[in-house]
Structure 1
Amino acid sequence: MPKGRSTTRLAWRPRRLTDIRPAILGAILAGGQARRFGSDKAQALWRGRRLIDHVADALGGQTTALVVCGREEPGFGCVPDRPGPGLGPLGGLNAALRFAETHGFAHVLTAGVDCPDLPQDLAAHLAGEGAGVVADQPVIGLWPVSVAEDLADFIAEGGRALYGFAERVGARRVALPAPLLNVNRPGDLPES
C-alpha cells in the first residue's frame, strides 16, 4: 500500500439498524509474506474459489462490516497494518481494533486469509467474557475493542507473538467442534 494512503470503505453494511447487537467488525488478516506457501495465499483456489472469498463469506455472515488488513484487495475495504508492515497478525489485529474503535464497533472477529473453512457460527462459539480465540489458532478470535490500548502497549514493548498477546489479555481458548484448515503450504489444501 502506498505510504500515507488508507482505504477505509466497508465491504458489508448493516442490513438494518437492529442488526447491530453489538456491532462486530470482521477482519481478514492478510498482511503476511506467505514464504512457505510460495505465492499469494489469498488468491489460491480451493473448491473453485479464492481462499480470501471463503473467509469473507464466513466472516461476512456473522459481522456488520468486513475489512482486509495488511494489503489492498479489490472489492474489499482495506486498512494498513498498524503501526506498519512486518508485524504479522499483530499488525493486522492492531489496525482492525483501532478501525473498530473509531467506527463504533464493539468487537472484532478475526481470521487469517489461510483459514478457508470457518464455521458459520464462529462468533457464537467465541462469544463470552473478554476475548476468545480458537485454542490452536489464536489468529482466529473475537476481540473486544477494549483491548486496543493493551495491544498498542504490547507492540510498543516489543511483543510480536499473538499467543503472547492473547495470554496477556486473558483470552479464553475455545475448542471448536471440528479442526480447521491452516494453509501454510500448497499441500495443506485438501483435494475437493
Structure 2
Amino acid sequence: MNKLNFKGSVMLNPTPVVLVTSKNKDDKVNVFTVGWVSTVCTKEPIIAMGIRPERLSYDYIKESGECVINLPSREMVKIVDYCGVRSGKKEDKIKHFGLQLNKGESISTPSLQKSPIALECKLKSITPLGTHDLFLFEVINVKVDEDLIDSNGKICFNKANLICYSHGEYYGLNAKPLGTFGYSVKKKKKIHKK
C-alpha cells in the first residue's frame, strides 16, 4: 500500500493517558491530564513527561519536587477529558468531581482513590524543549488496588480497564493480550510418546 508523507509531527499513537496530582507549598492539590508520558528506564524506574510551562501543575511539581501519576480506568474517561481542558487556575477540579484523595505513602502528594494504580514520583530533572518541558521522575512507590492482584502476587493490569489516547480520542484497552513478552522466540515443548 502506498504511504502519504506528512511534515514532522508527534504521531506516536496511541499513548497512555494519566491524571497527575500535585500540590503546592500551601497544600493545595491540583489534578491535570497528561497524554505525553512514557517509561524511559527500569533501574532506576524513570518516567518522562512533557508539561507545558503555563500549566498550574508545572509550578506545583517544580516547587514540591513530586507528583503522583494516577492511571485512569474506563469509568474515569469524562474526568480525564475535563481535567485536560479545564485549568486548575480557574477551578478546583477535584472539588468539581468530588474526587476522594488517598494520603501519599512515600511522598506528601495524595493520589486519586478512584484510580486503580498510582505511581508516587520524585522529580529528577526538568529540561526545556520548546512548547513543553521534559520532566523526568523516579517512581518510588506504586499503589495498586488489591483486587487487581492474583493469588501469585501478579498485578493483573487487564482487570484495571485502563484507557489510552490516540490523536484526539480515548480508547479502552482490550483485556485479551495478543501475546506475551518473548512468545515469538519461545521454544515449543516436545511431547515424548511412550
TM-score with structure 2 length normalisation? 0.26
Whose helix fraction is larger, Structure 1's or Structure 2's? 1
Q: Which is greater in Rg?
A: 2
TM-score with structure 1 length normalisation? 0.26
